[in-house]
Amino acid sequence: MDSLGLTHVHLDKLVNARLWLSQLPGKYGRQLPGGAGGQHLTRLHGQSTEFDQVRDYQHGDDARHIDWRASARAGGIQTRLFQRERDRPVFIAVEQGPDMFFASTGNFKSVQAALAASLFAWAADSVHDRVGGLVFGRETVRLTLPARNRQGILHLLHNVSQENLQLDSPFPADGIPPLQQALEHCRIQLQPGAVLVLICSESHLDSDSAKQLGTLASRHQSIWLPVSDPLEHQLPEQPGLAFSGQQQRLQLSRQQLRLRHQWQQQARATRQRWQRLAGQHGAILLPVCTSSSLADQLPVLQEGLHAACT
């Protein structure tokens, strides 16, 4: 099972994450593990190779699909119904930049994001959807075109792991905000009917990226997983704690109540911005935290996993 305290994640961990899906309760949980579950199917009269059932012939049914053997057994005309697969690629955009190389407790944000990406990839694979995506950071974007095979998923997860293992500093370089750049790539790559799964730092949502997300959500079913650490929501109460950056150092005292209050207000405003945006555009919002195992967060993620493969 998942463990805590991870700063990096290897490919074998991302591959084995598919086994966690068997924990999900009910019919959904039983369908996922084997990879041979039902596909996205639309019932119609023929025009497909996926047989559904035989039923009584009705006016308007295609006479070419009358099952004469079944008709003889039933004593009335029977017709075959078929199903047609809907092509609905799942596109997973996952952040693996220096902004994510951090945690005050539990797994690093980059690790949680990588594990979440693997869960959605394997969930989509279980219903034979095409899976692709991109891995992005401050300076890199690695694209995997959607494909309906395990090689495509392994290529995507390999890119995730490679970018994750290269992270060694929480201090990002200046440049274009990574979320804006990634969303522009998504706009170019996403095909009609695609599902967008976005996994990124909670703190990266600004006015520009919010507009981009809104535009994408109006065109594609969207599932958003903002990743955060408890320290980003509330500063600790212990006195004398020091925080250092590239060019400055801050030491907290119990008397700095104003700073603590402003910190909390800013974090609350960010969370509310995500909630409003998701509500306005019908996106599924699934916040992920570093403090608990991602396997323990499966009940929360279930709604998004189900939406990604139904």
pLDDT digits (tens, 9 = 90+) for 252-264: 655 567 777 888 8
Instruction: Give the span between the Cα atoms of 194 and 217, in whole angstroms.
Output: 11
Contacts 24+ apart (CB under 8 A), 206-215: 206/177, 206/179, 206/180, 208/177, 208/180, 209/177, 209/179, 209/180, 209/183, 210/273, 210/277, 212/180, 212/183, 212/184, 212/187, 213/183, 213/277, 213/281, 213/283, 214/277, 214/280, 214/281, 215/187
Which CATH class for the 11-34+87-308 domain? alpha beta
Q: Taking a C-beta distance cutoff of 8 angstroms, is the pair 45, 84 a contact?
A: no
Mean residue pLDDT of the chain comes to 84
Tell me the per-residue pLDDT of 176-197, one tens digit each, with 9 for 90 and over: 778 999 999 999 999 888 999 9
The residue extents of the domains of the chain are 11-34+87-308, 41-85
What per-residue confidence (pLDDT) applies to 45? 41
219 token code pair:
């065109």
* Residue 173, pLDDT score: 63
Distance (Å) of CA 218 to CA 195, 225, 278, 282: 12, 18, 11, 8
- Residues of the chain predicted below pLDDT 50: 26-48
